[in-house]
Each structure stands twice: as structure tokens, then as C-alpha cells.
Amino acid sequence: MAGITLEQAETKLNEYLEAESKILANQSYEFQGRRLNRANLKEVRDGIETWDARVKELAAKAYGGRRTVVARPR
């Protein structure tokens, strides 16, 4: 996905996480004797995995792929 920024990927990840919360709170309902699903939890969780990986990849590139550890003498 060329051109996706870290901020955009984080936004998408947050949207999927919010969708998961909403689904878990009220995934399905009955109407006139029919059971209806608001969304497919598996698809949302697949989206979470996809965007989480993308965020991690972009964050690693943005921060040089490494973490800085600061050691302070006592």
C-alpha cells in the first residue's frame, strides 16, 4: 500500500478497534423473527491484524527500525 502514512495507518487501526468494541457490545439483533448481524467479527479482527502490522512496519521505518535505550549511571 504505497503512500499510506503512519498517521493514516494508526487511524485505520483505531477504527477497526472501535468497530470490534461495538460488535462485541451488540453484534447481532432480532427483527421480525430474523437474526441479523451488524458485522463479521472475524473480518474486523483480520483488519486489526493487517493494520497493526502496517502500523508497526511504518513506525519502525519512521524511527529507524530500532529503539533507543538510555542508560543512566546511578
Q: Is residue 69 a part of any domain in this protein?
A: no
Q: Is residue 29 a part of any domain in this protein?
A: yes
The mean predicted confidence, pLDDT, of the chain is 83
49: left (phi over 0), alpha (psi -120 to 50) or beta: alpha
Q: In whole angstroms, what is the distance from residue 8 CA to residue 39 CA?
A: 23
Write out the residue range of the structural domain in which residue 34 sits. 6-62
pLDDT for the residue 46: 94
Q: Is residue 67 a part of any domain in this protein?
A: no
Q: Is residue 57 a part of any domain in this protein?
A: yes
Domain count, the chain: 1
Query: The cell 499510506 sits on which residue?
Result: 4
Q: State yes or no: pLDDT of 73 exceeds 60.
A: yes
Q: State yes or no: pLDDT of 49 exceeds 60.
A: yes
Q: Is residue 54 a part of any domain in this protein?
A: yes
pLDDT for the residue 1: 47
Radius of gyration of the chain from its Cα atoms, rounded to whole angstroms: 19
